[in-house]
Amino acid sequence: MADPGLVPARHETPEIDVAALEAARAADRLLAAAVAVGSERWARYLAAMPGRLRDDPVSALRATARAGRSAFGPKDSIRDALPAEVTEPFLASIDRLLKVIAHWETHRGG
């Protein structure tokens, strides 16, 4: 039985890796849109996110995904600055990543 305290490498959790890479591609598009419209604030906020989504270990991905999710606040939202064709796919991919991580955390070690 695997030790539930050990966190596997990303390549050992392909469902998480695939979801994180999908979110990274969506983050690339979102960052490009922020730069294109001159939104320095959102460009700064998003600058490291694609790389983190590609490279973070499983143990850090939840925090990265939550940082992405927090851009969609009730009073201050990235939706107010960037078009839906880039914000909504990013949000959907981040929500999917969080769901996959939660499922993995619930079922690991068993």
Is 6 within a domain? no
Is 2 within a domain? no
Domain ranges, residue 91: 13-107
The Cα 74–Cα 78 span in angstroms is 10
* CB < 8 Å & 24+ apart, contacts of 64-67: 65/23, 65/94, 65/97, 65/98, 65/101, 66/98
Domain count, the chain: 1
Is 55 within a domain? yes
pLDDT in tens, 88-103: 999 999 999 999 999 9
Specify the residue for token string 């979110």.
23
Is 80 within a domain? yes
pLDDT in tens, 1-51: 455 557 788 888 999 999 999 999 999 999 999 999 999 999 999 999 999
Is 72 within a domain? yes
Is 88 within a domain? yes
Is 51 within a domain? yes
Is 33 within a domain? yes
Q: Which residues, in sequence order, are bridge partners of residue 77?
A: 72
